[in-house]
Amino acid sequence: MPIVWQCPLGVSAYLALGQQIEIGEKACPECGQRLGGWGGYWRWLRRPGTERLWIRRSRCSRCRRSHALLPDFLLERRLDEVEVIGRAVALSISGGLGMRPLAERLGVPMTTARDWRRRFQVNALMMAAALVAVAVHLDPAPVLLSAAEHEIVALEALGAVWHRARTRFGKRVPELWSFWSLISDEHALGTNRSPPYPPRSGAVCITRIP
Ligand SMILES: [Zn+2]
């Protein structure tokens, strides 16, 4: 199970560090025990010129599980930056832009772009419900959602959570799409094999923000 961590570095700085990447102390999501280092692995990142980047692993000495420590500019099992994915999905939903022209513009395979949108669609309702719960935890004012369309509601709910988090914590809260990755763990854009987007606890999400 990956742990998404808030990475203060830009992607280029992260890449430049190679295996020297340092991550602060993390707690085991299962039992709260401090995690120890446990090597890492290389994975690919698609950017202009595909690159490899180092993902640290850590292991809990109590429950003996290991966790990949995923920087928040990535999503589990996705080759592209979350910023690229999130913007493309949002553009296709609210801008009505087809995934084909978007894929061409981004230089990603059509099937990849279509899959982003499909997964977002599958998750949209659960995601919206979970995000509204976090938004209300941050600020009890009701969350105003304008549409009946699940995907639009999910985008609006994400915007509301992010806005409330920024109001409360300021610039410590990362940019919108990294924030999405951070509070969603591996579920932001799960694959066919992933469980559905789980309910989010506002309190737990807030502890993610340093
Ligand atoms: Zn543990």
Which pair of structure tokens corresponds to residue 35? 């995690």
Question: What distance in Å separates the CA atoms of residue 145 and residue 42, rounded to the nearest whole number?
Answer: 41
CA distance 128 to 123: 8
Q: Which of 102, 108, 80, 99 is nearest to 189 (CA)?
A: 80
Give me ligand 1 centre to Cα 65, in Å.
7
Calpha distance 23→7 (Å, rounded) = 8
Ligand 1: centre distance to CA 55 (Å): 19
Which pLDDT value is given to residue 96?
Answer: 87
Tally the C-alpha atoms within 13 A of residue 30's C-alpha that lie toward its C-beta: 12
Contact between 28 and 35 under an 8 Å Cβ cutoff? The reply is yes
Distance 54 CA to ligand 1 centre (A): 23
CA distance 122 to 47: 26
Q: Ligand 1 mean position to 36 CA, how many Å? A: 10
- For residue 8, the CA-to-ligand 1 centroid distance in Å is 25
| pLDDT for position 24 | 86
pLDDT of residue 85: 96
Distance from the CA of 82 to the center of ligand 1, in angstroms? 28
Which H or E run contains 155? helix 150-169
Ligand 1 center to 134 CA (angstroms): 25
Q: What is the pLDDT along the chain (210 residues), one digit of tens a residue?
A: 789 999 999 999 999 999 999 888 889 988 999 999 889 999 999 988 789 999 999 999 999 999 999 999 999 889 999 999 999 999 999 988 899 999 999 989 999 999 999 999 999 999 999 999 999 999 999 999 987 899 999 999 999 999 999 999 999 999 999 999 999 877 888 766 667 777 776 666 777 776
How much distance in Å is there from the Cα of 66 to the middle of ligand 1?
9
